[in-house]
Structure 1
Amino acid sequence: MKENNESVVFKPKVEERKVSFAWVIPIIILCILAWIAYDTYTKKGTNIIVTFKSAEGLKEGVTPLEYKGLQLGKVTKITMHDDLKNVNVRILVKSDVAKYVASESSRFWIKKPTVSLTKISGLNTLISGYKIELSPKFRTQDEYNKGKEQINFIGLDSKPDDELSAQGYYITLSASDKDNVEVGTPIFYNKFQIGEVVSKDFKYEKVLLNTYIYDKFNYLVNKSSKFVLNEALKVSYGPSGLQVEVGSLYSALVGGITVITPQKDEEKISKDEEVALYADQTSLQAKEYFNISFKEINGIGEETPIIYKGIEIGKIDELTLNVDDVNVRAYVFEKYKYLLTNKTRFFIQEPEVSLSGVKNLGNIVKGNYLTLKYEKGEFSDSFEAFSKEKLTQNENDILITLYSDDLNSISKNSKVYYKNIEVGKVIDYGLTNSLRKVKIQIAIDKNYSHILNDHILFYDMSSKLVDLKALDLNINFSGIEPLLNGAIGIVGEKRTTKLKKKEFKLYSSYKDVKKLKRVYNSGFVINAYYNNDFEIKPNMAIIYKNQEIGFVKDIKFNDNKSEVQLFIYNAFKKYINSKSRFYKKGIVNLKASLNGVLFEVDNFTSLLEGSIHLDTNSNMIYDNYEIFSSFDDMKNSSNSITILFDDVEGVQKDFSSLTYKGVNIGKVTDVKLTSKHKVEVKAIIYDDYDSFAKEGTIFFLKKPRISLQEVANVGSTVMAVNIGVIKGEGKYKNEFVGYDTQPSINKSHFGTIFKVYDSTASSVNVDAPVYYKNVQIGKVNKIDLSDDGSNVIVDCLIEDKYTKLIRKNSQFYDISGFELKFSLFSGTQVESNTFTSILKGGLVVVTPYEYNEKANSKDVFILNKTLREDWKTISPSIKD
């Protein structure tokens, strides 16, 4: 066997092997890091530093740098400045805009949120915080290429003005530092907003407001335009009271500026031009300035109004205090310039409070004001102020000097009265050289010069209220104001002689001058007589219609009648004639009874000492002048009547009245019993005596009637019983027979009496109504028996305007009480006319269609007991 030693070569086995992903991740990371490094390197940016006064609202890593909403960078660090007053804010600016930011053109300011009533801006900063805004000066690429790089900046306080639209209509307003106008304040034209204040600055001691007028309203504003601050709330107090004016709710809240453009075709206002902002509408009016010199100013200052006849004509503009005086710079509106004359006088108007009233009450609320007294003259712009007291004293006033033992309450400006009319005032007072008297200077208005003569008397109206010396009572009744504020009275009569004297004595009271006045008055004497049962004293005043016309000059006493000399002033001579008579008015006349209290005081003179009064109403002619003890005694002498009664229970002297148609025409003056046991009543008739003192006049007692049916004259149950009167038409008569009740008569001032006969008395009572078709036309006046006693006579008093309804064939029916009908078939029926007829009774008159002629008081009617059923349907048309 053959051995094979040949070598065997094996073919290698080839296998594919895959790359591991473990190496891919590091490579990707390496690439990303390289990209980040490259991107960071290429976008690293530029750091700038801006110095602000405060970093309020700024945050590191948060606060952005923006320009027109585009973010340019971010705040990276905030540090203190070297001066320790400001802060440095480092900002990293993106590299692609660094060329524009890190430039000498850049300005930076902090944008804050603005919230006002007119608008809201920067609202997003409320959430994201404050922002830093870029405001570049350069506007073109060439300017940046030529500009220099800068990284340190000083921040601005607010947005620069040139940030505003270059094409906008901007107007600069010059305002006062007192005008509080904020950014955002609206600008109105005819109450419609046409613009707003966009910025505010203080330059050259002026407040400058940059305002923007909306494009579509540019035509409304030009060089003729006036800008005026709105008065959001105007409060004024003047003669018409408190006034509150509000332009609108919007203007009340935000204020605003109003534009007034009188000419629409004027040129536009340039941006560099400053336009005045007026504080109010009055500032637009042309003014005339002038100066006033004051010794002192009371309650006035800058802005104090100048008021003339209730109209504000100007104001005080400025006050300057000098060594000797106060200089006031004021103005009036041009239309009132004519008031500034060399004769015009300025003074301060203040409130005046006294017992006589309050003047210029409004000044207490609104303060004093400046006013003037105008007189025509040449124009003047320089004045000297006067006191009001000096101005009210006329140069033509009459100056008189008075001498008194005591000043009492008299002071400067105390008033001087003549017959309670103010005719002057006190202008000064002081002691005489001897120190024994008080010297008082008064000024009498020239318009009252005619009352002055050498015989006038002056007395102190401010003397003691009550003075009692030696039982002589002196009471000051001039009023409270003269008592407290002081006053001087003048007593005297007008005379033809003129005033020559300049000095007079001032008497302490009116009582002192009263006697002197009588001495100075011219007059004549008449003799009168009086009984000695009352007293008359010398110097008693003689009064006629509350005016003193004379006085008792002398008295000659005799046993029976005394003689009195009455001095009558000449001015009243015409009232003294043969029909004149006099009566004494006592100090007090007091009478009392159940009827009331009679308290009489004539006047104050009577209260002190009594007085004699003149009466001229008598028709009687007297041989001698006579003085009666009282008014009643005087009336009794001429207007007295006598009435005889059987009984006058309830009649009282001085309180029982004589009544005619409900009016008191007189009164009872005396009641006495005669020898024949009759009661004699004396009474007087106040007026129209002749028409009552006649035959046929009836006097009857109006006694009370009280029953279940009626109450009449109830006052007479506790008061005096009055006497009723029915006027007669006969001859003169002054003695009468009175009736206990109203008698039966045919005719009176109430109407006509118709007599109705009844066989027996019914339920009808006196004053029961008489009806015609349910309308009362009269009443029952009296119920009595006939002379023979066979019938009852009912006197029916029918009012005059209804007497034509009573015909000779008229029928009278009794409707007193009520009628009751009972039936098993028809039921029960109750009938009555009125409630009055149930209580007092009553009658119904029925006149048929075919009526006869008118009845008279002599006709007799029969009373029917049952009313006919058809009476309501009977309705004739009755003619006269």
Structure 2
Amino acid sequence: MSNEIIEQEFKQEVYEPKIEDKKPISFIWVLPLIILAILGWIAYESYMKKGTNITLVFKSAEGLKEGVTPLEYKGLQLGKVTKISIHEDLKSVKVNVLVDNEVAKYVANESSQFWIKKPTISLTKISGLNTLISGYKIELSPVFKTQKEFEEGKEKYYFDGLDTQPNDEFENDGYYVSLIANDKDNVEVGTPIFYNNFQIGEIIAKEFIFEKVYFTAYIYDKFNYLVNKSSKFVMNEALKVSYGASGLNIEVGSLYSALVGGITVLTPDKEAAKIIKDEPYLLYGKKDDLKKKEIISLNFLDVNGIEENTPIIFKGIEIGKIIDVKLNKDVLISKAFVYEEYKYLLTNKTKFFVEEPTISFDGVKNLGNIVKGNFISLEYKKGDFSNTFTAIKKKDLNKINSTIKVELLSENLNSISEKSKVYYKNIEIGFVDSYALTKDLKNVKITLLIDDKYKDLINDNNLFYDMSSKLVEMKNLNLNINYSGIEPLLNGAIGLIADKIDEGKLTKNEFKLYSSYKEIEKLKRFNNNGFTIEADFDNSFEIKPDMAIVYKNQEIGFVKNIRFDDKKSKVTLFVYTAYKKYITDKSRFYKKGIVDFKASLSGVLFEVDNFTSLIEGSIHLNNDSNTAFEKTQIYATEDNMKNSTNSLTIIFDNVEGVQENFSQLTYKGVNVGKVTNVSLNEKQQVVVKALIYDDFTSFAKEGTIFYLKKPRISLQEIANAGSTVMAVNIGVIKSDNTKYQIKFEGLENQPSVEKSYFGTVFKVEDPTASSVNVDSPVYYKNVQIGKVSKIDLSDDGSKVVVDCLIYDKYVKLIRKNSEFYDISGFEMKFSIFSGSSVESNTFTSLLKGGLVVVTPYEYGEIANPKDKFSLVKTLREDWKSISPSIK
């Protein structure tokens, strides 16, 4: 191989270098720097916004939450609660608040005050309502108001929280009044302030200073003129309890006052100066505290039940009260006040005495005494002013007033005592003062004291009797009058008969005390002039000699003698001459039984004429009949007497629920008669005998309708509901016919008539049965003008006939071209595009059914009951817009 070839093989080939531009530093080295910068910025922000910690001490942390509850000032959030813990004193709590740095100098300052804002909800105001959702808030209330004050102020980081909103929060130009509380404890922040029952302000703050409770009242700007230095502030009383001569009196105010309470402002002088905020005014507990009072000294020698706050009452009005009581040996010394307006009652002749409760079968007198204690009353007489008194016993007062002394002689004392009273016509006129045996020890002498105002009753013609035997004699003690009750049976009593009040004088030293009224009655009958009447009676009842004959609750005679016969007996009646004019050929008599007592599931009938009847019964005169009688008749009962002339007969197929003496005949809701007898006749029909109380001839007419008023319960009404448990009554529809009739065919239900005292009936025909029921309402413009009274088939059975009873005041709305629409149930409309809808006129019509009457603008003549109307099933859409003026 040649050298050239070898040189070429080993020769190194040198290439020209390729020059390229160098790239800058990679982005991957810049990213850590950016992240570092961001972290630095976050650290800076975190450091700058870390805030300032302050500590607040509150009595309670109720409603506060860590990390949630904000610190605010006028709605601006300044920080947030970071921690809540127990204070070192174990009585309060510490609340740590982180305050934003930018406002720290305004918050962590000696001028700051903090209080917890809570929701206020009452019947008069709702405030802080948003705290119900977000929770309570802590509010800042700074004392400093300028930037300069904050710069000069000292920093502070530990604060005692306030219990309520501070006064510094109040408006500078607001009208505020300071009130000092009385012993009332029902005043809180938010309590309204009223003037003539209209709210003019409210209590906005409450604080305890020097052992007294102070309230700050805010008066609304537009009512400033109603409150000034002459104003008085009084608590409203929701419940007022007073104790008068009539007993316990409880007055309940409105429910609003009971729930809200409140304060009332009384301003007598509208021109007085305005109140200064720091000038406190007393809050009175009640209006009586505002009245001027006269202080008196009142001593008691022998009394129980007198204490502080015992009322002084005159003629049922509380005129004062005991304010201090103390015992000095055997004398009870008290201080009392009497309102200035009753100062005239305080004279040297006025007598004070104690009223005590009286409990008897007659009832409870002075009920208030039992609950509260005795009360003090007085007897006023004109005289010179005095403020020192010694109370006396009421009985001693009665002796002072009783100037007439009467002495009675009796064989024995019976139940007469010093508690016994003297009555004239059931009115107390005196009392028993004392009693003792006569010198011969054979009789009892009883001394009576009669009140001076009844002195004209006392004369030589008086008769006295022992009322203690009333329970046995039971004479002339009518349950229907206001009698003194059973007290004479417990304490004894003496009755006075003074027939000749205007004649004679009192010259007797002594009177005889008769053992009973019956003795006096016999004495009076013996001395009376009169005439006799012969009367018949059957032997179904008993008549006894000396039975009283009574006319309009007055004794006019007595039964003189009886001649018995096994078929019909005769009796001789002795009538006093003074009552002769009342005996005519139309007179009838009936016996008032001992006790008229009837009972059933329908109720109890208990009648007593008077207590004479409880022993022997009495004979009563009746002059109501228009028929003259050939012979005088005495009937067993009043019903038997009336049945002889005022009785109707009604025939029914079935009278289930009708009961003798309890089923009533009713006309226009008034009881005009009653069922006296129910029986079956030979045709197995029910025969009802009915007694008409009054105006018999107006019911005993041909065409009068009698029907059973059976119970009917529907959504529209509940009719005759009492008949479900009580006796079924019989309804009456009067007839205009003048023909006399006393026997009638009764109907099972109320009939359909064209005209009744309810209204007019119009017949509406429907080819098929409607969902309208009896008692369904009939409307006109959504106002009910009547109801469906009956639903029946037509005579040929082709149609349903609906009787619509239209009330009289709306009859003119029904015209011959009026239309009746069925609105029963509901109507459902469905459409692919518009969806579906359900329509119903009223809830009642949905369940019960109903009709609507539409009368067009071009209305015709007034319809009459003979006109026929067709029932339209679908109510026209424009029915509400049809509104003619119908005259």
- Same fold by TM (over 0.5)? yes
Q: Taking structure 1 as reference, are residues 591 and 369 closer, same or farther at Cα in structure 2, changes over 3 Å only?
A: closer
Partner residue, 1:747: 755
3-state DSSP of counterpart to 1:748: coil
2:457 matched to 1:456?
A: no
Distance in 2, matches of 1:438 and 1:716, equals: 61
Measured after TM superposition, the shift of residue 634 of structure 1 is: 1.9
Displacement of 1:610 in angstroms is 1.9
Task: Summarize deviations over 1:201-239 as a string: whole Å, max 9, x none.
Answer: xxxxxxxxxxxxxxxxxxxxxxxxxxxxxxxxxxxx999
2:791 is aligned with 1:780 = no
Q: 2: CA distance between counterparts of 1:830 and 1:372? A: 78
Within a 5 Å distance, the mapping from 1:387-536 to structure 2 comes to 397-412=403-418, 414-445=420-451, 447-462=453-468, 479-494=485-500, 498=504, 500-536=507-543
> 1:466 Cα shift?
6.3
Q: Which residue of 848, 851, 855 maps to 2:856? A: 848
Q: Offset at 1:298?
A: 6.0
Structure showing greater radius of gyration is 1
The alpha-carbon deviation at position 438 of structure 1 amounts to: 0.7
What letter is aligned with 2:617?
A: G
Tell me which of 731, 734, 738 is aligned to 2:746.
738
CA displacement 1:550-593 (0-9 Å, x = unmatched): 33222222343322223334454444333332222222222222
Instruction: Map 1:61-72 to 2 at 5 A.
Output: none
For residues 451-487 of structure 1, the C-alpha deviation after alignment (integer angstroms, 9 at most, x for no partner) is 445553322234596699xxxxxxxx96444344443
> Which secondary structure state, in structure 2, belongs to the residue aligned with residue 599 of structure 1?
strand
Residues 810-866 of structure 1, C-alpha deviations (whole Å, 9 max, x = no match): 1112222233344444433333323332333222111111111111111111112x3
Find 2:664's aligned residue among 657, 676, 680: 657
* Range moving further from structure 2, 756-765 or 867-876: 867-876
Q: Secondary structure at the match of 2:654?
A: coil
Counterpart residue identity of residue 607, structure 1: L
Residue 769 (structure 2) pairs with residue 758 (structure 1): no
Q: Deviations over 1:493-539 (max 9, x none)?
A: 23665255432221333344343343344444333322221112222
Query: Matched residues in 2 for 1:238 and 1:829: separation?
Result: 65
Task: Determine if contact 2:812/2:862 at 8 Å carries over to the other structure.
Answer: yes
Where does 1:148-297 land on structure 2 (aligned, <5 Å)? none
Query: Residue 726 of structure 1 aligns with which residue?
Result: 733
Contact in 2 for aligned 1:745/1:753 (Cα 8 Å): yes
Change over 3 Å in CA distance of 1:456–1:560 after alignment to 2:
farther
Partner Cα separation in structure 1 for residue 654 and residue 699 of structure 2: 23
| C-alpha spacing 1:339/1:854, structure 2 compared with 1 (3 Å) | closer
**For residue 420 of structure 1, what is the amino acid of its counterpart?**
N
CA contact (8 A) 2:354 2:393 kept: no
Instruction: Mark the CA change 1:652 to 1:711 in structure 2 (over 3 Å): closer, same or farther.
Output: same
User: What amino acid is aligned across from residue 422 of structure 1 in structure 2?
Assistant: E
Aligned match of 2:836? 828
Decide whether the 8 Å contact of 2:590 with 2:634 is kept in 1: yes
Evaluate the alpha carbon distance shift between residue 761 and residue 485 of structure 1 in structure 2; reply closer, same or farther with a 3 A threshold. Answer: same
User: CA separation in 1, counterparts of 2:678 and 2:374?
Assistant: 72
Residue deviations 1:397-425, cap 9 Å, x none? 44433111222443447422111122333
Given the superposition, is the C-alpha separation of residues 641 and 297 from structure 1 closer, same or farther in structure 2, using an over 3 Å criterion? closer
Q: 1:353 to 1:708 in 2, by over 3 A?
A: closer
Aligned residues of 1:703 and 1:721 also touching (Cα < 8 A): yes
Unaligned regions of 5+ residues in structure 2, if any? 1-241, 248-293, 295-299, 305-311, 322-327, 332-343, 385-390, 475-482
Identity %: 61
For residues 743 and 488 of structure 1, what CA distance do their matches in structure 2 show?
A: 62
Give yes or no for contact 1:351–1:361 (8 Å, CA) kept in 2.
no
Give the secondary-structure state (helix, strand or coil) at the position aligned to 2:620.
Answer: strand
5 Å matches for 1:303-314? Answer: none
Q: Is the 8 A contact 1:583 1:613 kept in 2?
A: yes
Counterparts of 1:582 and 1:386 in 2: how far apart (Å)?
Answer: 56
Distance 1:840 1:783 in 2: 14
Aligned equivalents of 1:452, 1:490: Cα separation in 2:
9
Q: Which one-letter code corresponds to 1:680 in the other structure? A: V
TM-superposed CA distance for 1:807, in Å, is: 0.4
SS for the counterpart of 2:678 is: strand
Once the two structures are superposed, the pairs formed by residues 689-708 of structure 1 within 5 Å of their partners are 689-705=696-712
Task: Pick one of 586, 590, 594 that aligns with 1:587.
Answer: 594
> One-letter code of the match for 1:405?
E
Instruction: Give the structure-1-normalised TM-score.
Output: 0.55
How far apart, in 2, do the equivalents of 1:714 and 1:299 lie? 58
Contact 1:399 1:441 in 2 (8 A): yes
Q: Distance in 2 between matches of 1:658 and 1:798?
A: 25
Verify: 1:611 aligned to 2:609, yes or no: no
Give, in angstroms, the shift of residue 351 of structure 1.
Answer: 5.5
**Cα 1:682–1:744, aligned 2, differ >3 Å: closer, same or farther?**
same
User: What code does the residue aligned with 2:448 have?
Assistant: I
User: After alignment, is 494-503 or 426-435 more displaced?
Assistant: 494-503
Determine if contact 1:805/1:878 at 8 Å carries over to the other structure: no
Contact 1:348 1:368 in 2 (8 A): no
The aligned amino acid for 2:442 is R
Residue type of the alignment partner of 1:662 = G
1:796 pairs with 2:801: no
Q: 1:298 to 1:777 in 2, by over 3 A?
A: closer
| Whole-angstrom distance in 1 between the partners of 2:398 and 2:586 | 52
What is residue 544 of structure 2 aligned with on the other side? 537
In the alignment, is the contact (CA less than 8 A) between 2:353 and 2:392 conserved in 1? no
After TM superposition, give the deviation of residue 801 of structure 1 in Å: 0.6
| CA distance in structure 1 between the partners assigned to 2:815 and 2:509 by the alignment | 88
User: Letter of the aligned partner of 2:561 in structure 1?
Assistant: D
Tell me how far 1:631 sits from its aligned partner: 2.0
Query: Which residue of the partner structure matches residue 176 of structure 2?
Result: none
Q: Which moved more, 1:838-847 or 1:491-500?
A: 491-500
Moved more, 673-682 or 650-659: 673-682
Residues 8-63 of structure 1: CA deviation (Å, up to 9, x unaligned): xxxxxxxxxxxxxxxxxxxxxxxxxxxxxxxxxxxxxxxxxxxxxxxxxxxxxxxx
Matched, 1:626 2:649: no
1:597 alignment partner AA: V
Give the whole-Å Cα distance in 2 for the aligned partners of 1:386 and 1:681: 69
Post-superposition Cα deviations, 1:569-627, rounded to whole Å, max 9, x if no partner, equal 44544443333322222222222223222222222222222222233333333333322
- Kindly indicate whether the alpha-carbon contact (under 8 Å) linking 1:665 and 1:685 is maintained by their aligned counterparts in 2: yes
SS of the residue aligned with 1:716? helix
* Secondary structure of 1:807's aligned partner: coil
SS of 1:625 mapped into structure 2: coil
Distance 1:642 1:868 in 2: 48
SS in 2 for 1:867: coil
Q: Given that residues 821 and 874 in structure 2 are in contact (C-alpha distance below 8 angstroms), is that contact kept between their aligned partners in structure 1? A: yes
Aligned twin of 1:857? 865
Query: For residue 429 of structure 1, what is the amino acid of its counterpart?
Result: Y
- Aligned to 1:781, the other structure's residue is in SS state strand
Determine which of 872, 875, 880 is the counterpart of 2:882. 875
CA contact (8 A) 1:641 1:682 kept: yes
Unaligned runs of at least 5 residues, structure 1: 1-236, 242-284, 286-295, 301-306, 313-318, 327-337, 378-384, 469-476
Corresponding residue SS for 2:499: coil
2:627 is the alignment partner of 1:641: no
Q: How many positions carry a matched residue from both structures?
A: 571
DSSP 3-state at the match of 1:667: strand
Where 2:612 maps in the other structure, the secondary structure is helix
Quick check: 2:313–2:375 contact (8 Å CA) kept in 1?
no
1:577 is matched with 584
Change (3 A) 1:751 1:556: same
Shift of 1:308: 14
Instruction: Give the deviation of 1:770 after TM superposition.
Output: 1.2
Q: Is the 8 A contact 1:345 1:386 kept in 2?
A: no
For the residues of structure 2 that align with 1:484 and 1:710, how far apart are their CA atoms?
52
What is the aligned partner in structure 2 of residue 666 from structure 1?
Answer: 673
TM-score if structure 2 supplies the norm length? 0.55
